Amino acid sequence: MRFSFATLLRHAFTGNTWPEQWRSPEPKSAYDVVVVGAGGHGLATAYYLATEHGIRNVAVLEKGWLGGGNTGRNTTIIRSNYLQDASAALYEHALKLWEGLAQALNYNVMYSPRGVLMLAHNEHDVRVFHRHVHANRLAGIDNEWLTPDQAQQFCPPLNISADLRYPVLGAALQRRGGVARHDAVAWGYARAASALGVDIVQNCEVTAIHRDASSGAVAGVETTRGPIAARKVAVVAAGHTSVVMAMAGVRLPLESFPLQALVSEPIKPVLPCVVMSNTIHAYVSQSDKGELVIGAGTDAYTSYSQTGGLHIVTHALEAICALFPTFRRLRMLRNWGGIVDVTPDRSPIIGLTPVPGLFVNCGWGTGGFKATPGSGHVFAATVARNEPHPMAAPFGLDRFRTGRLIDEAAAAAVAH
């Protein structure tokens, strides 16, 4: 079924329940490609395998429910103002796909380019942000410098008083940045991929990766719903990547940390853009439901607990209250954690592995949501062609051996 104004109108008058938007088939005994992880990145990978490469005999296996990991736990911020050429190109590729995604999927992902304002609070911030703005503009990516007054004009509730412990000295603004509806992204990709023949199998945990005894190549996976043969296995398991890859004997430069977020009670529209502050550590936007969506930092220690310390959240709220004194009276409704896989250079790992037929897309750390369409797009090409997509090539696993790291610790925003 295609969504259109006519179908919405017809549905409004007939009042029937909407049909399920994707199939839930029993897993087959063999596929051309098995994708491990039905988050945004995994589903996007399957979708682009089907649309761009004609590979439709694909299963996406999910140990929990679709989009229930970091896809459903992040703060949905989208931007592409990264410093290094390789990452700017990759995130900008994703941003361009975001702009046409709702049309391509025939599903409203609610992409809202309302602007991402990144605040500078000290001389060092000011210089670093100027450097970012210049680097981005040379790379053809929009980013501009605002004075404190201009920042407040763009975001009226922002406190630019000189009395702040860390006063706002200016801000970098990417106007094309913004937010999207995280669940809709997973659902839209799932629906489109399923319609093309991709099997999405939930409640199906991978428990082992089978390898051919003579060649060592991937032969399939063992799951809680039986064995599934596949010549290509693409692991997109975010915080659990180390666990899954260990099943094939592959060790990675990853550490998994809890990252927390929280939402306030819903209020009328008050915050017109996304505001981020690396230095005093907070980021906030307002959802269409009216809740303030607030991101905190990672915990100090590695963990798979999907919870974090209250002091981390408290720290973020103190920063929010300093920047937006009017938010002091708000109550917080929910708080949760997700497990993010962090690399030494804060850039993702996309590509082939030492095991033939085994591919990995991981290490997105605290900022993977924004890359969802681009990540799936270049990873699908990598899996289909058995060689890195040109845009993914710099993000290969071998960069840790060659030393060609892509250092984005400053652009990743979240302190970790």
Partner 1 sequence: MLLIRCPFCGPRPENEFSHAGEAHIARPPDPAAVDDAVWTDYLYTRSNPKGAQAERWRHSHGCGRFFNCLRDTVSDRIVATYLVGQKRPDAE
Chain residues binding partner 1 by CB under 8 A are 240, 242-243, 251-256, 300-305, 309-311, 341, 344, 400-402
Q: Is residue 80 packed enough to be buried (19+ CB in 10 Å), middle (13-18) or exposed (0-12)?
A: buried
Which residues are CB-neighbours of 34 under 8 A, at least 6 positions away?
58, 59, 61, 220, 221, 228, 230, 232, 233, 234
Grouping H, G, I as helix, E, B as strand and the rest as coil, residue 149 is helix
Grouping H, G, I as helix, E, B as strand and the rest as coil, residue 377 is helix
Confirm if 380 and 365 have CB atoms less than 8 A apart.
no
Kindly state the smallest distance separating residue 106's Cβ from partner 1, in Å.
38
Question: CA-CA distance, 88 to 342, in Å (whole number)?
Answer: 18
Confirm if 31 and 201 have CB atoms less than 8 A apart.
no
Tokens of 399: 């960069």
Of residues 54, 63, 176, 179, the one with CA closest to residue 111: 179
Nearer to partner 1, 146 or 245 (CB): 245
Nearer to partner 1, 252 or 360 (CB): 252
Confirm if 164 and 82 have CB atoms less than 8 A apart.
no
Kindly state the smallest distance separating residue 216's Cβ from partner 1, in Å.
17
Kindly state the smallest distance separating residue 171's Cβ from partner 1, in Å.
29
Kindly state the smallest distance separating residue 299's Cβ from partner 1, in Å.
8
- Beta strand 282-286 with 274-277 is antiparallel
Kindly state the smallest distance separating residue 315's Cβ from partner 1, in Å.
10
Confirm if 59 and 199 have CB atoms less than 8 A apart.
yes
Kindly state the smallest distance separating residue 356's Cβ from partner 1, in Å.
18
Nearer to partner 1, 65 or 304 (CB): 304
Which residues are CB-neighbours of 80 under 8 A, at least 6 positions away?
88, 91, 92, 94, 95, 141, 174, 176, 177, 370
Confirm if 265 and 310 have CB atoms less than 8 A apart.
no
Nearer to partner 1, 21 or 303 (CB): 303
Tokens of 411: 């652009």
Kindly state the smallest distance separating residue 24's Cβ from partner 1, in Å.
27
Tokens of 59: 């299963």
Nearer to partner 1, 290 or 309 (CB): 309
Nearer to partner 1, 199 or 341 (CB): 341
Burial profile 374-409: b = 16 or more Cβ within 10 angstroms, e = fewer: bbbbbbbbbbbeeebbebbbbbbbebeeeeeebebe
- Beta strand 58-61 with 199-201 is parallel
Nearer to partner 1, 72 or 239 (CB): 239
Kindly state the smallest distance separating residue 345's Cβ from partner 1, in Å.
9
Nearer to partner 1, 80 or 241 (CB): 241
Kindly state the smallest distance separating residue 281's Cβ from partner 1, in Å.
14
